[in-house]
């Protein structure tokens, strides 16, 4: 019995020793494989960033979990630099890499990356133009990418100030794919963006304005922007010191912009954006122009031409604007205060704002319907149609305005034209149609006791003789009559905007009534 027990003990010891040796060999093998895996991941980084300076504090590989972590990676590629706290690679397909040199990773987490892009030098631009000719043989696939708290800054030419800056609190992308086909494109990879959140965004629009957002969120097919602003860099007086010709000073605030069915892509060096319904709410838009500046005599395109020639492809089926306030101020004749026009409680619906498929026979017309209060009291309705595909830029604009007391437009007439008016306009109807060259149409205007007083420039006292002549020209005999004028004809000044064109049509019709 004891002999058998002794044999059993010896056998057990042998088995135990064998197991320990096996475990030791496996542990050693895992250690070796772990080192091999780490070196291969390091090699992969070097191979896939050939022209970049790659630096990192540590690469930690866990073979059994098929995970890796890169501590403090820093990438420098031409005019771009990227650094992050950590990059975690989870579920690496090691066998695919070992056998086919393809890098496939199920999940990548990047923490606190800082991305800086500087203006490219001439040599870098030349080098990048030929970069697409290089052959990319391997395949990189990141199935799920998550980025936390990223900061992206694009610098201007002097590299001391930012042209663009944003902080991305969260970004999620799926199926980031780099292969020999995508490597030849401007964006050398395909991807599916599922989530992007920013809590600040800044864009320098040039010498006079900046653009800022409080927040931006893209999730699947929706986009939400909060507190959109275009901000002038200078106050009204200093703004003029930075001009050579008259320019508009914009001050714009939009509470929210919402796209519910966003579809966008970048293809063939063109950005394309589509949406079925865009909602814009809470708009406060103030425009100021100093007419004492020299005229800007450059060509001003019609809106249809501007949309047709946009650098991006745009396909907005429907755009709805709610709760808009528009103020236009114009300084003339060295007046202390500028003339002012106001449009409040403005609501608008726009259909078919698109420049996609301009050659198709069934290209849709753009229709814009606007309802607003002019100078806070007079209701105004406008219907406006044009064809973006039409290179002659044909349009039709019609509408009406309700009762308006003349005193309410003295805020504009007095400082801008040195006159004040009394009486009231009972109603106005208009219908104009035309193209980039000429406009024609008809107009009906009813008014009551309409009188004009011309003021002294300094004292603002009325010039009685001139005022009397002006009032003689006002046809008060049409007091309670409807007067229709169908022979209104206006030639467009192409150095002026569409709104100047439209105003000339209104003015021409009014003069036919008053004189």
Decide: residue 16, CB within 10 A, 0-12 exposed, 13-18 middle, 19+ buried.
exposed
Decide: residue 73, CB within 10 A, 0-12 exposed, 13-18 middle, 19+ buried.
buried
pTM, rounded to two decimals: 0.85
Domain presence at residue 417? no
Domain that holds residue 326: 31-386
Q: How many domains does the chain have?
A: 1
In order along its 515 residues, the chain shows pLDDT tens digits of 556 556 555 566 555 555 566 666 666 666 666 666 656 666 665 565 455 566 878 877 776 677 888 889 888 777 888 899 999 999 988 778 778 878 899 999 999 999 998 887 655 555 554 544 456 677 889 999 999 999 999 998 766 788 999 999 999 999 989 888 877 777 778 889 999 999 999 999 999 999 999 999 999 999 999 999 999 999 998 998 888 899 999 999 999 999 999 998 887 778 899 999 999 999 999 999 988 889 899 999 999 999 999 999 999 999 999 999 999 998 876 667 788 899 999 999 999 999 999 999 999 999 999 999 999 999 999 999 999 999 999 999 999 999 999 888 888 777 766 778 888 888 999 999 999 999 999 998 888 887 777 776 554 454 444 444 445 445 544 444 455 666 899 999 999 999 999 988 988 887 776 65
Q: What is the pLDDT of residues 182-229, one digit of tens each?
A: 777 777 788 899 999 999 999 999 999 999 999 999 999 999 999 999
Domain presence at residue 26? no
Domain presence at residue 490? no
Q: Which helix (H) or strand (E) holds 410?
A: helix 410-417
Domain presence at residue 464? no
By DSSP bridging, strand 140-155 and strand 103-111 are: parallel
Domain presence at residue 154? yes
Residues with Cβ within 8 Å of 17's Cβ and at least 6 positions away in sequence, in order, are none
Give the position of tokens 């690469």. 59
* DSSP structure class, residue 456: P
Q: Alpha carbon of 166 to those of 124, 198, 215, 255: distances in Å?
A: 25, 7, 10, 19
Domain presence at residue 263? yes
Domain presence at residue 483? no
124 phi, psi to nearest 5 deg: -70, -40
Residue 212 in tokens? 């800022």
Domain presence at residue 4? no
Q: Are 461 and 481 in contact (CB under 8 A)?
A: no
Q: What is the pLDDT of residues 396-411, one digit of tens each?
A: 999 999 999 988 888 8
- In total, the chain counts a number of residues equal to 515
Residue 250 in tokens? 């914009």
């Amino acid at each position: 019995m004891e002999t058998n027990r002794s044999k059993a003990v010896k056998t057990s010891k042998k088995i135990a020793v064998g197991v320990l040796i096996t475990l030791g060999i496996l542990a050693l093998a895992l250690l070796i494989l772990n080192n091999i895996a780490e070196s291969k991941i390091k090699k992969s980084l070097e191979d896939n960033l050939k022209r970049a300076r790659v630096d990192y504090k540590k690469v930690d590989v866990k073979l059994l979990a098929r995970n890796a972590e890169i501590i403090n990676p820093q990438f420098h590629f031409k005019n771009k630099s990227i650094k992050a706290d950590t990059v975690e690679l989870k579920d690496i397909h090691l066998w695919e890499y070992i056998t086919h040199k393809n890098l496939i990773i199920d999940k990548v987490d990047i923490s606190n990356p800082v991305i800086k892009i500087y203006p490219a030098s001439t040599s870098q631009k030349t080098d990048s133009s030929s970069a697409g000719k290089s052959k990319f043989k391997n395949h990189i696939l990141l199935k799920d990418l998550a980025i936390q708290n990223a900061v992206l800054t694009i610098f201007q030419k002097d590299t001391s100030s930012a042209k663009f800056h944003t902080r991305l609190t969260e970004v999620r992308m799926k199926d980031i794919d780099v292969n020999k086909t995508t490597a030849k494109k401007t964006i050398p990879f395909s991807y599916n963006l599922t989530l992007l959140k920013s809590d600040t965004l800044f864009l320098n629009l040039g010498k006079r304005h900046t653009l800022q957002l409080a927040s931006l969120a893209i999730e699947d097919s929706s986009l939400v922007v909060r507190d959109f602003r275009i901000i002038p860099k200078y106050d009204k007086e200093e703004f003029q010191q930075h001009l050579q010709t008259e320019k508009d000073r914009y001050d714009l605030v939009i509470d929210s912009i919402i796209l519910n069915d966003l579809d966008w892509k970048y293809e063939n060096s063109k950005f394309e954006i589509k949406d079925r319904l865009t909602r814009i709410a809470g708009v406060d838009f103030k425009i100021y122009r100093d007419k004492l500046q020299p005229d800007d005599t450059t060509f001003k395109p019609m809106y249809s031409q501007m949309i047709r020639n946009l650098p991006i492809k745009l396909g907005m089926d429907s755009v709805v604007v709610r709760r808009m306030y528009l103020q236009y101020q114009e300084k003339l004749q060295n007046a202390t205060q500028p003339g002012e026009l106001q449009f409040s409680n403005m609501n608008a619906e726009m259909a078919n704002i698109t420049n996609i498929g301009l050659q198709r026979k069934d290209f849709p017309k753009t229709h814009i319907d606007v309802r607003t209060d002019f100078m806070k009291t007079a209701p105004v309705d406008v219907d406006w149609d044009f064809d973006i595909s039409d290179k002659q830029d044909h349009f039709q604009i019609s509408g009406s305005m309700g009762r308006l007391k003349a005193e309410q437009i003295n805020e504009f007439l007095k400082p801008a034209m040195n006159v004040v008016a009394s009486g009231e306009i009972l109603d106005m109807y208009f219908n104009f149609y035309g193209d980039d060259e000429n406009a024609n149409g008809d107009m009906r205007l009813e008014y009551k006791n309409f009188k004009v007083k011309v003021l002294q420039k300094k004292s603002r006292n009325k010039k009685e003789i001139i005022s009397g002549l002006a009032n003689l020209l006002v046809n008060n005999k049409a007091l309670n009559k409807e007067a229709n004028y169908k022979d209104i004809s206006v030639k467009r000044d192409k150095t002026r905007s569409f709104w100047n064109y439209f105003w000339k049509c209104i003015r021409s019709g009014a003069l036919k009534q008053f004189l």
